[in-house]
């Protein structure tokens, strides 16, 4: 597998575009880019798969996309940022109008499109601006890196960085490319945010197989990040696979299946970590890896509790090697373990620091601790001796800016 | 039931004291009071009950107190603040030495004492300072309001306010008094905090009955507050009942039982709300009441998710009537409900504001919203039409100071 430049337009036969149409015009948060409408389109029909928020309160575009993709077929994705079209007047009507506008401008059917929205909750979507903008959006479609970049910009809300990735892998003697763009400044931002990810590939694969593969991969990537523990009403990850790589279609387990899993998982994990590190107000990416656990489920419970803990997140912000908070989070995670069996280390490019062994503190160098924790990427490594299972989850520190972004933005 | 002045010394036959002995001397957080050692003592043996943290990682004093109170008998409580004696060298040895020191100075047995500690995790307790301080602590014991007040001060860490309460009720023709002191600047503060509550009463009651009563009440009071979702290693609530009110001992259900439940629940709820409103960095007490739910469990899931949500907490800090975040939290709470059946109001002394009906936003006056949300106590009222059950949970806003307290304190 190789990492290459580009995003959703890297696989064969995909175009993208991102423009400003006016959805963000009454969006009072400072946004890094005013683009607010994006499209990803394949030249030919695709096998399609999607995963969606588990929140009981689902935005209408989520409900509609799930319905449209039930046959595992689609050809494009239309996305807006600035308005989540959740709990909003005329939500379903406007979601359908978005798909219809995309269809009319491309000569396809509304059911060929996934519809994704992200932004404020409870406010009516400016569908007139979207409908007026779609022709220009379609006219701007291109298979260039710049086009993917434009689309990546057009889906941001409080994000500070675009989140693009592309990789190639060998499947059945053919080069298969997987590309993606994502947004999310936290796993979850019911008012401002949401996690959206659009993945494209030219791999040939059966739609139902792709759906199973995606569901499995999402549990191990996007479902392992957290910024604030709030699950959005709009979270969506959609994959379009157009088959133009020319490989023999993947219809089940085997080497080809595994190669695509590796590429798709890499892409999803990359985007997930990008979202965590660009969490609202975040200064650093925090990885908690739990190893030596009795099962992956147990390791995941522990790792997720650590990266979710506000006290751990504040400690990382304060470059404080506060392992007591790590132990405490592991302790209330719901996982079963012997507290006397816990070792904790902090790791980063600046070095490695053992802070706890046998469930008790060990002396450490406070200056080194400061250095280790000041790096942009910090790993909290929790080691048990209960088994062979391991899991990593990702989050970010909790800073003044998180409070500012979420407390002040309407003031 | 009447609310009276005073705390743990209000019931007949209880003394208290709080002094400085030196545990807090290397405690680098600004603390409002340097007192760090407290005792609550009954003149006669008591029925005793305790509830403890559910964290797998339990501090040694928690383990010891559970053991000592297994027979539902005790006569006193010794408490230190500044060091949690959790994951600390010689933890159990030092917890036993605290009980032994209390016993030696009072002529009782170590098993007659509950031992509570709160403060930093992983650092060896300064047991020498405690042992040296106990004789002065015992000499200071008094049945005055000031003595309860001193004890209430001596258990604070990052708390800004002491948390004392006393009530009287009529049981079997006798006046029964229930008093309490508590600490906790958040439900949970693995490094700095913990929730501790010492309750005294002169009611006569069987120990096992008291234990059942307390367990039930704690689930509806202390277990319904949250500051940051982190469950401490040290949480403890202990009740001592010495029977000096002269009522016929309560041995099971009935009017007397109900009267004590009412008083004890009032006291525990008061202390719980005091802890929530004094959450680290908190500016306001936030109550979420869910009514019209199918069951109390469902209502509790929803209410707890709302008061725990960092995004809701930031919105309250920013006096932003951001009901979308409330709906989102209710949606991921795990409760089952129809999103179209949700009404949301914000209430305070400044007025009432309906912001959402039928799961969608309704127009509201932004100026009134600002006024309602600027009050020190704000209620988020979520109304469903699924049934008759209701539940309130309590929390606080999330402010810059929370990040400061937990990010900066060792710098």
Residues 190-209 of B with CB under 8 A from A: 190-191
Q: Is pLDDT at B400 greater than 90 in this prediction?
A: no
pLDDT the model gives residue A197: 80
Of B299, B257, B329, B311, give the one whose Cα is nearest residue A55: B329
Q: Which of A158, A169, A177, A194 is catalytic?
A: A194
- pLDDT tens digits, residue range A56-113? 788 899 999 999 999 999 999 999 998 989 888 899 999 999 999 999 999 999 999 9
Of A129, A144, A103, A110, give the one whose Cα is nearest residue A10: A144
Q: Select the more confidently predicted residue: A168 or B57.
A: A168
Determine the distance from the C-alpha atom of residue B183 to the mean position of all C-alpha atoms in its chain, rounded to a whole number. 7
Q: Which of B194, B289, B383, B399 is catalytic?
A: B194
pLDDT the model gives residue B411: 33
Q: Select the more confidently predicted residue: A196 or B351.
A: B351
Which of A305, A310, A366 would best serve as a mutation to test chain B binding (most B beta carbons within 10 A)?
A310
Yes or no: say if B37 and B150 are a contact pair by the CB < 8 Å rule: no
Q: Is pLDDT at B409 greater than 60 in this prediction?
A: no
The pair of structure tokens assigned to B172 is 């079997």
Place of tokens 């910009």: A153
Residue A93: what are its φ and ψ, rounded to 5°?
Answer: -60, -45
Task: Give the CA radius of gyration of chain B.
Answer: 21
Highest mean pLDDT among A230-234, B217-221, B376-380: B376-380
Residues 337-376 of A with CB under 8 A from B: 337, 339, 356, 359-361
- pLDDT tens digits, residue range A35-58? 999 999 999 999 999 888 877 788
pLDDT the model gives residue B278: 83
Burial of B53 (0-12, 13-18, 19+ CB in 10 A): buried
- pLDDT tens digits, residue range A239-282? 899 999 999 999 999 999 999 999 998 988 888 888 888 877 88
Q: Is pLDDT at B60 greater than 60 in this prediction?
A: yes
Is B359 in Cβ contact with A57 (below 8 Å)?
A: yes
- How sure is the predictor about B283, in pLDDT bands with cuts at 50, 70 and 90? confident
Sign of the alpha-carbon dihedral angle for A224, A226, A231, A233: negative
Is A332 in Cβ contact with B406 (below 8 Å)?
A: no
Judged by a CB distance cut-off of 8 A, whether residue A330 touches chain B is yes
Judged by a CB distance cut-off of 8 A, whether residue B173 touches chain A is no
Cβ-defined contacts of A367-371 (< 8 Å, 24+)? A369/A319, A369/A320, A369/A321, A370/A319
- How sure is the predictor about A192, in pLDDT bands with cuts at 50, 70 and 90? very low
- How sure is the predictor about B234, in pLDDT bands with cuts at 50, 70 and 90? confident
Judged by a CB distance cut-off of 8 A, whether residue A310 touches chain B is yes
Place of tokens 């998180």: A402
Cβ-Cβ contacts under 8 Å, B189 against chain A: 311
pLDDT the model gives residue B352: 94
Which of B406, B408, B411 would best serve as a mutation to test chain A binding (most A beta carbons within 10 A)?
B406
- pLDDT tens digits, residue range A375-397? 999 999 999 999 999 999 988 99
Q: Is pLDDT at A122 greater than 90 in this prediction?
A: no
CA A117 – CA A128 distance, rounded (Å): 15
Give the β-pairing of A37-52 and A236-241. antiparallel
Q: Is pLDDT at A304 greater than 80 in this prediction?
A: yes
A104-125 in b/e form (b: 16+ CB < 10 A) is ebbebebbbbbbbbbbbbbbeb
- pLDDT tens digits, residue range B178-224? 999 988 774 443 333 457 888 899 999 999 999 989 888 888 887 77
Of B274, B279, B373, B285, give the one whose Cα is nearest residue B323: B373
Q: Is pLDDT at A190 greater than 50 in this prediction?
A: no
Q: What share of chain B is helix, strand, coil (3-state, %, to 5)?
A: 35, 30, 35
- pLDDT tens digits, residue range B18-48? 999 999 876 555 455 689 999 999 999 999 9
Cβ-Cβ contacts under 8 Å, B332 against chain A: 54-56, 230-231
Which of A28, A54, A57 would best serve as a mutation to test chain B binding (most B beta carbons within 10 A)?
A57
pLDDT the model gives residue A378: 96
- How sure is the predictor about A121, in pLDDT bands with cuts at 50, 70 and 90? confident
pLDDT the model gives residue A355: 94
Is A410 in Cβ contact with B356 (below 8 Å)?
A: no
- How sure is the predictor about B166, in pLDDT bands with cuts at 50, 70 and 90? very high
CA A91 – CA A321 distance, rounded (Å): 47
- Portion of chain B with pLDDT greater than 70, in percent: 94
pLDDT the model gives residue B15: 96
Whether the predicted interface score ipTM is above 0.90 = no
DSSP A193-255: ---EEEEEE---B-HHHHHHHHHHHHHHTGGGB-SSSPPPS--EEEEEE--TT-PPPB-SSSH
CA A133 – CA B13 distance, rounded (Å): 79
3-state secondary structure of A403: helix
Mean pLDDT of chain B: 88
Of A150, A223, A232, A224, give the one whose Cα is nearest residue A185: A232
- Portion of chain A with pLDDT greater than 70, in percent: 94
Q: Is pLDDT at B410 greater than 60 in this prediction?
A: no
pLDDT the model gives residue B187: 42
Residues 125-164 of A with CB under 8 A from B: none
Residues 243-302 of A with CB under 8 A from B: none
Judged by a CB distance cut-off of 8 A, whether residue A401 touches chain B is no
Cβ-Cβ contacts under 8 Å, B361 against chain A: 87-89, 122-123
pLDDT the model gives residue A189: 36
The answer to whether B287 is a known catalytic residue is no
Mean pLDDT of chain A: 88
Q: Is pLDDT at A149 greater than 70 in this prediction?
A: yes
Of B153, B178, B314, B342, give the one whose Cα is nearest residue B245: B178
β strands within B6-72, DSSP E: 14-19, 37-52
| pTM, rounded to two decimals | 0.80
Cβ-Cβ contacts under 8 Å, A403 against chain B: 314, 317, 398-400, 402-403
CA A18 – CA A148 distance, rounded (Å): 8
Q: Is pLDDT at A411 greater than 50 in this prediction?
A: no
Judged by a CB distance cut-off of 8 A, whether residue A403 touches chain B is yes
The arithmetic mean of pLDDT across residues A211-215, rounded, is: 89
For B19-38, the three-class secondary structure string (H helix, E strand, C coil) is ECCCHHHHCCCCCCCCCCEE
Is B356 in Cβ contact with A122 (below 8 Å)?
A: yes
Which of B27, B403, B405 would best serve as a mutation to test chain A binding (most A beta carbons within 10 A)?
B403
């Amino acid at each position: 597998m190789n990492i290459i430049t580009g995003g959703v337009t890297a696989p064969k036969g995909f175009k993208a575009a991102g423009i400003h149409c006016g959805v963000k015009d009454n969006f009072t948060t400072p946004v890094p880019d005013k683009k607010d409408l994006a499209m990803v389109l394949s030249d030919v029909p695709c096998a399609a798969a999607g995963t969606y928020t588990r929140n009981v309160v689902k935005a209408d575009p989520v409900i509609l996309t799930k319905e449209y993709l039930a046959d595992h077929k689609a050809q494009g994705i239309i996305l807006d940022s600035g308005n989540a079209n959740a709990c909003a007047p005329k939500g379903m009507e406007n979601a359908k109008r978005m798909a219809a506008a995309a269809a009319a401008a491309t000569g396809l059917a509304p059911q060929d499109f996934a519809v994704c929205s992200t932004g404020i909750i409870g406010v009516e979507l400016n569908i007139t601006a979207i409908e007026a903008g779609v022709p220009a959006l379609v006219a701007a479609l291109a298979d260039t890196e710049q086009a993917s970049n434009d689309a990546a910009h057009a889906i941001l809300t409080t994000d500070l960085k675009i989140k693009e990735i592309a990789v190639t892998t060998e499947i059945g003697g053919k080069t298969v490319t997987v590309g993606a763009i994502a947004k999310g400044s936290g796993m979850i931002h019911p008012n401002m945010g949401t996690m959206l990810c659009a993945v494209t590939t030219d791999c040939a694969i059966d739609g139902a197989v792709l759906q199973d593969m995606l569901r499995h991969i999402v549990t191990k990537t996007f479902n392992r990040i957290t910024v604030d523990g709030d699950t959005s009403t709009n979270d969506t990850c959609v994959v379009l696979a157009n088959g133009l790589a020319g490989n023999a279609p993947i219809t089940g387990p085997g080497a080809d299946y595994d190669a695509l899993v590796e590429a798709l998982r890499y892409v999803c994990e990359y985007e997930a970590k990008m979202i965590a590190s660009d969490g609202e107000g975040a200064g650093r990416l925090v990885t908690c890896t739990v190893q030596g656990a009795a099962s992956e489920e147990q390791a995941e419970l522990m790792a997720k509790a650590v990266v979710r803990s506000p006290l751990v997140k504040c400690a990382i912000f304060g470059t404080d090697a506060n392992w007591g908070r790590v132990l405490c989070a592991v302790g209330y995670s719901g996982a079963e373990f012997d507290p006397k069996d816990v070792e904790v280390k902090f790791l980063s490019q600046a070095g490695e620091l053992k802070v706890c062994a046998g469930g008790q503190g060990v002396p450490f160098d406070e200056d080194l601790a400061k250095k280790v924790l000041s790096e942009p990427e910090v790993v909290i490594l929790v080691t048990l001796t209960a088994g062979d299972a391991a899991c990593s989850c990702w989050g970010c520190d909790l800073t003044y800016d998180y409070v500012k972004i979420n407390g002040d933005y309407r003031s």
